[in-house]
Amino acid sequence: MLRHFTKGRDLIRPAATRFATAYLTLGCLNDHKIQLMTMFTSNQWSSCRFARIEEGKRIQNCVLRQCFL
């Protein structure tokens, strides 16, 4: 489902060092924040099994918080 909303792009890209991975991941999250917000408010997400488990709910709450903008 994520690839559908990010047009096939991954949020995590392989990096040369493990220290750069966290920085690159944060950059990708920032680049795709609108698509992530769209995904978490979609009907597809609501019907997904991850929307009903605790971890999925926590991630959804993080992405939909005002400070994520």
pLDDT, mean of residues 6-14: 73
Q: What is the pLDDT of residue 55?
A: 96
Q: Which residues contact 13 (CB under 8 A, 6 or more apart)?
A: 24, 25, 28
Confidence (pTM): 0.70
pLDDT above 70 (res 16): no
Segment 34-66, tens digit of pLDDT:
999 999 999 999 999 999 999 999 999 999 998
Segment 21-32, tens digit of pLDDT:
788 888 888 999
